[in-house]
Amino acid sequence: MYKSILLILLISLTTSCNSPTNYKNACLESVDDKTILKIKGKRRYMVHDFISIFSNDMYEDSCLIQIPKFCNNCTILGKDIPTEEGHYKFIGQIKIEGNIADVELQVDNTDDKVVYPYDWNGKYSLEKITH
């Protein structure tokens, strides 16, 4: 009986939770001689106590991807995207065609020998392009 109630509670919690979402717009800009693709989205707070499980609170997050060069119509390979020391490299690509950026990246976890999709993948309308 308790197992059934626990199972129902667990299923309802996992299906009612807000999942992370990325906004449809992104920004490509030049900062200090670097070209940056800025993507924003909503993420759930991490649950640290039992009461927080029932909260659907979310926060706005952003991702900054440094692109090796400014381009209007090009494909940037993941291996050419600079990453900070201690961070995993990218596999895949970012396609920029006019005012559309299509992020198709995977993270190459060399420690666990696993490749997994990047949370910020998707097609974005570029709001403004400055350089």
Mean pLDDT by 10 residues, the chain (131 residues): 57 56 90 89 77 75 87 89 93 94 96 94 84 52
What lies within 8 Å, CB to CB, of 105 at 6+ separation is 78, 81, 90, 91, 92, 93, 94, 117, 118, 120, 121
Does residue 1 sit within a domain?
A: no
pTM for the model stands at 0.76
Buried b (16+ CB within 10 A) or exposed e, 8-26: eeeeeeeeeeeeeebeeeb
Structurally, the chain folds into a number of domains equal to 1
Does residue 5 sit within a domain?
A: no
The residue range of the domain holding 51 is 19-121
